């Protein structure tokens, strides 16, 4: 007589149900997803385009620089810049806007490291030194382009860049106001800020390390001009 198969018990039923249940979806890791190698490469090429464009806009002028010139400087085909920017004007806007946004971010980091309790003169020294790094350091370029090619932007582009620039310069006001209250700054702070930025930014037209001044030494010379020494 054939043996009957044993009926599944409750434990067997639970095991079978567990095996047949759909697997839980993998949890998505927190934070931004990591960039793929292709995305990183695109980001690097975009950065190189902006750096080379800034140098060409300075040396040749915006009007005399073609997208073919920029592509050749980066080692791309003549039409490749349009993959990253809609036009030469959009590239100019990015050079100024993204450069200014990066300067704003690094300035905030410098002030955070310094701390709010720092003396006003030290705050101004750190701000001036950081600004010289932005103007004259290895990643400089966008502020000189802003000085010479501001009118080449559209009205909307100028408004966008000006918004970031104003935020960058506004961070200087607490130090200038404190110095004015202490009698170390003889000009009205808002007007002093305009004079200070005019003087600092124009250093791009004459400064050279070959003249024997480091950026630290240049910073101290600037402070001697801007604030009264006891």
Q: Exposed, middle or buried: residue 143 (CB in 10 Å: 0-12, 13-18, 19+)?
A: buried
For residue 37, is pLDDT > 70? Answer: no
For the domain with range 40-85, which CATH number is right: 1.10.10.60, 1.20.1250.20, 2.60.40.10, 1.20.200.10?
1.10.10.60
Residue 29 has what pLDDT?
47
- Residue 24 pLDDT > 80, yes or no? no
Is a pLDDT exceeding 90 seen at residue 42?
no
Reply yes or no on whether the pLDDT at 28 is more than 80: no
Asked if residue 120 lies in contact with residue 179, where contact means CB atoms within 8 angstroms, the answer is yes
Sorting pLDDT into bands at 50, 70 and 90, what band is 34?
A: low
Of 29-33, 44-48, 111-115, 225-229, minimum mean pLDDT range: 29-33
Over residues 63-77, the pLDDT tens digits come to: 999 999 999 999 999
Once rounded to an integer, what is the mean pLDDT over residues 122-140? Answer: 91
Query: Is 10 a residue whose pLDDT tops 70?
Result: no
Question: Between residues 46 and 24, which one has the greater pLDDT?
Answer: 46
**Lowest-confidence pick of 11-15, 108-112, 127-131, 213-217:** 11-15
Q: Which pLDDT value is given to residue 27?
A: 53
Of 70, 45, 68, which is closest to residue 56 (Cα–Cα)?
A: 70
- What is the band of 154 on the pLDDT scale with cuts at 50, 70, 90? very high
Taking the mean position of all CA atoms in its chain, how far away is CA 186? 33
Q: In whole numbers, what is the pLDDT of the chain averaged over residues? A: 84
Domain residue spans of the chain: 40-85, 95-230
What pLDDT is recorded for position 13?
45
> Is a pLDDT exceeding 90 seen at residue 95?
yes
Under DSSP, the state recorded for 183 is T
Indicate the fold that domain 95-230 takes in CATH.
Answer: Tetracycline Repressor; domain 2 (1.10.357)
For 169-197, write each residue's pLDDT tens digit: 999 999 999 999 999 998 999 999 999 99
Per-residue pLDDT averaged across 91-95, rounded?
95
pLDDT at 18 over 50: no
pTM above 0.75, yes or no: yes
DSSP 62: T
Q: Reduce the DSSP state of residue 66 to 3 states and report it.
A: coil
187 near 195, Cβ under 8 Å?
Answer: yes
- Closest by CA position to 170, among listed 196, 193, 146, 202: 193
Buried b (16+ CB within 10 A) or exposed e, 33-42: eeeeeeeeee
pLDDT, residue 7, reads 53
Backbone angles phi, psi at 215, to 5 degrees: -65, -30
Point out the least confidently predicted range of 82-96, 155-169, 200-214: 200-214
- How many alpha carbons lie under 13 Å from residue 47 in its C-beta half-sphere? 8
């Amino acid at each position: 007589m054939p043996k009957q198969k044993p009926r599944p018990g409750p434990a067997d039923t639970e095991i079978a149900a567990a095996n047949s249940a759909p697997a839980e979806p993998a949890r998505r890791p927190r934070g931004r997803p990591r960039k793929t190698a292709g995305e990183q490469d695109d980001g690097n090429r975009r950065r190189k385009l902006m750096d080379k464009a800034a140098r060409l806009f300075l040396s040749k002028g915006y009007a005399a620089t073609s997208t073919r010139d920029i592509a050749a400087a980066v080692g791309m085909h003549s039409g490749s810049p349009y993959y990253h920017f809609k036009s030469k004007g959009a590239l100019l806007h990015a050079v100024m806007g993204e450069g200014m946004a990066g300067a704003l971010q690094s300035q905030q980091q410098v002030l955070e490291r310094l701390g709010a309790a720092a003396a006003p003169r030290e705050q101004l020294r750190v701000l001036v030194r950081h600004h010289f790094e932005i103007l004259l350091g290895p990643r400089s370029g966008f502020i000189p382009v802003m000085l010479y090619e501001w009118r080449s932007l559209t009205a909307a582009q100028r408004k966008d860049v000006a918004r970031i620039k104003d935020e960058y310069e506004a961070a200087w006001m607490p130090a200038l106001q404190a110095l004015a209250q202490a009698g170390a700054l003889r000009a009205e702070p808002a007007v002093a800020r305009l004079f200070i930025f005019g003087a600092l930014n124009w250093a791009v037209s004459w400064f050279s390390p070959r003249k024997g001044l480091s950026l630290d030494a240049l910073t101290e010379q600037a402070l001697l001009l801007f604030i009264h020494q006891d």
